[in-house]
Amino acid sequence: MTERDHNTTADTPADIPSSHDEKGSPVLCTVAKFAATLTLLVSLIIFYQGHNLPGGGFIGGVLAAAAGAMVLLGWGANSWVARIAWWRVSVVGLLISLTTGVVLMFVSPSGDFMDHITLHWPIHLPTATFFDLGVYLIVIGTLMTVFVELGKEEGR
């Protein structure tokens, strides 16, 4: 039974050509193009400054997911954004965060898990940023999964 259902869900997006008439309102699309880009940029800035100022991976990730939500609103649940396997993004983020902690066990002087050192080259880059990158990805992945899956409504 899974096979069958599975194929139907898999085929539906492919059958419909992703043409112009698939989109939501054109106003939303036009606005979303700029607004989403801008939000994504802001989210990156907030993410980067997070290690010693307000900000960080979580808030940056939420903002980036907000950008993703705009794109979803504009282009609908069949757009390329909705087809990314967002949960994989989360898992990769988790791996990045964990790996940072483990690598630091070997690199840092104290040898503690998730110890912190600062790299000064090529830019000012504390290792917390790598951990935060993982958090950023986890948050984007989780939120986008929620948006995409709850937005589908194919059951009806």
The yes or no reply on residue 30 touching other proteins (CB under 8 A) is no
Among 72, 133, 137, 140, binds other proteins (CB under 8 A): 72
d(CA 35, CA 79): 17
DSSP string, 112-149: -TT---EE-SSS-EETHHHHHHHHHHHHHHHHHHHHHH
User: Which residue has tokens 């992703």?
Assistant: 18
The yes or no reply on residue 27 touching other proteins (CB under 8 A) is no
d(CA 117, CA 104): 8
91-109: b or e for each residue (b if 16 or more CB lie within 10 Å)?
A: eebeebbeebbeebeeeee
Q: In the window 135-154, what residues touch other proteins (CB under 8 A)?
A: 142, 145-154
Tell me which residue of 71, 87, 90 sits closest to 29, measured CA to CA: 71
d(CA 63, CA 124): 23
Select the span of 31-39, 40-48, 51-59, 118-126 touching other proteins (CB under 8 A).
51-59
Kindly write out the interface string for residues 85-114 of this chain, putting x where it contacts other proteins by CB under 8 A and - elsewhere: xxxx--xx-xx--x--xx--x--x-xxxxx
Considering the complex, what minimum distance in angstroms separates the CB of residue 110 from other proteins?
Answer: 5
Q: In the window 117-136, what residues touch other proteins (CB under 8 A)?
A: none
Among 17, 21, 120, 122, binds other proteins (CB under 8 A): 21
User: Which residue has tokens 């999964």?
Assistant: 145
Interface residues toward other proteins, by CB under 8 A: 1-3, 5-6, 9-10, 16, 21-25, 52-54, 58, 72-73, 76-78, 83-88, 91-92, 94-95, 98, 101-102, 105, 108, 110-116, 142, 145-156
